[in-house]
Amino acid sequence: MTSLALLLIGFSLFSALTLALTHFRRENYQDQTMAMIMGLVLLLALSGLQFAHFVWLYLDQAWVETTLYRMTLFAVAPAFYLFSQPLLHPQIRTARMQIWHALPVVAAPWLPSDMALPLAFIVGAGYLLWLARSLYALRHERENFHLELVLLGSVFFIAIGVSVLGLAQATLPEKLFFTLYAISIGAAFLLVQLTLGLRPQLSTEISEAAQESYASSTLTHVDCDAVLASLNTLMLEERAYEDTELSLPGLATKLGISAHQLSELMNARLGKGFSRYLREQRIVAAKSMLRDEPSASVLSVGLSVGFAAQSNFYEAFREIEGMTPGQYRKLHPRNKSPE
């Protein structure tokens, strides 16, 4: 079991670095700066815990008994809350940092060592209850995120299991709890990587779905068919998707409605959020270029249809088509009619 823990510790550290470099980028968190920053803080905290577990399990140095480990442990749940809150409750706008969430971290050094770990997991359990309540509010969106919610739900149950273990930590053999804790963190990283592999823009799409779940209808006085026709014209004739800076508010302005109205209209009539819709429009255009312009490089195709970087193009193409742009081009040569 220790070998498995060490293996997953290594995977966790590599995964944290990969997520920091590839997922927590500004284009994945438009208008969600707080979520992006706290996501990076969460990765740093989890990496710190895993490194301490490695030192304890492999080098037999009890870093898990240090004040820094204790503070880091208390930082995980608040960091996760501050990461999730802007995504799950986008209707809440606050200009100030919620300082009180840092109180457990500040108090950690002054707690008796035998109370610190159980209390940290009690605090974590409280944040998990908030998460469960917030996810329940998205129950009507489960068809749009079925597999993703199953995977993230598995992470949730891992967290519950760790909280239970944390309360019983004093009764477990010396290193067993930290072995199981390291395995749990590694398994959570694996599930998150699988989830983001399936849905790279999941954070944005959940935020859009949450916004619709909490909002009352804004389409009472909107001619939905006329707006959808204008949207179709903007995409097919004016090729608005080519604008790398195109945003939901910007597109809504072009259509003469508010961002909330456009978001609700897309979810209600098209069954998808703005981010997904925009990626699909760009991929449709990219597929046409890949077939009709065989001399154009894959990079130039991606940039031409509005993607800001090659990595974003590859992620979106693989997500929607299940293959890379290069593979698609080989399967659909110019002299072969598209399906």
What would the pLDDT profile of 12-68 be if each residue is shown by its tens digit? 999 999 989 888 877 777 667 788 888 899 999 999 999 999 999 999 998 988 889
- Asked if residues 169 and 177 have their Cβ atoms less than 8 Å apart, the reply is yes
In angstroms, the CA 217 to CA 164 distance is 41
At residue 36, the pLDDT reads 86
- Residues of the chain with pLDDT > 70, as a percent, come to 80
* pLDDT range class, residue 141, cuts 50, 70, 90: low
**Per-residue model confidence as pLDDT tens digits over 271-320:** 788 888 999 999 999 999 999 888 889 999 999 999 988 888 988 898 88
Residues 6+ apart with CB under 8 A from 46: 12, 16, 76, 185, 189
The tokens of 8 are what? Answer: 């997953």
Say which amino acid occupies 180. L
**Per-residue model confidence as pLDDT tens digits over 102-137:** 888 888 888 887 777 778 878 877 877 777 776 665
- Asked if residues 118 and 169 have their Cβ atoms less than 8 Å apart, the reply is yes
**Per-residue model confidence as pLDDT tens digits over 221-250:** 888 889 999 999 999 889 999 998 888 888
In angstroms, the CA 179 to CA 176 distance is 5
* pLDDT range class, residue 338, cuts 50, 70, 90: very low
In angstroms, the CA 171 to CA 243 distance is 59
At residue 162, the pLDDT reads 72
At residue 115, the pLDDT reads 77
pTM above 0.75, yes or no: no
- Residues of the chain with pLDDT > 90, as a percent, come to 26
In angstroms, the CA 137 to CA 42 distance is 24
At residue 95, the pLDDT reads 44
Q: Which of 127, 45, 36, 124 is nearest to 83 (CA)?
A: 36
